């Protein structure tokens, strides 16, 4: 993250970004973020649900907060 504004709660000590945290900088639940990403992908990228779910997992798998969880899900 390149600037304070990109850190959760604009706190440079917060290792998570504004997209993964609530207004106080607390990490959002995996389920909440996943559901939001799927809905957003369906609306903004014109994906069907299956495509949006795959997209969300691919994106979340790149983020440190969720990498291990996504890796476990994809190994099943």
**Count of domains observed in the chain:** 1
Rounded (5°) CA angle 38-11-17 = 20
Please write the tens of the pLDDT for every residue from 17-62: 898 899 999 999 999 999 999 999 999 999 999 999 999 999 999 9
Q: What is the pLDDT of residue 1?
A: 86
**14 C-beta neighbours (distance < 10 Å), count:** 20
Q: What is the domain extent for residue 58?
A: 4-75
Q: Is the pLDDT of residue 8 over 90?
A: yes
Are 20 and 33 in contact by the 8 Å Cβ rule? The answer is: yes
């Amino acid at each position: 993250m390149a600037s304070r504004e990109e850190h959760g709660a604009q706190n440079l000590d917060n290792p998570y970004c504004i997209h993964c945290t609530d207004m106080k900088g607390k990490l959002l639940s995996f389920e909440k973020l996943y559901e939001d990403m799927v809905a957003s992908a369906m609306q903004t990228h014109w994906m069907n649900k299956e495509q949006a779910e795959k997209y969300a997992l691919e994106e979340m798998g790149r983020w440190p907060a969720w990498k291990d969880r996504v890796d476990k899900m994809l190994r099943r």
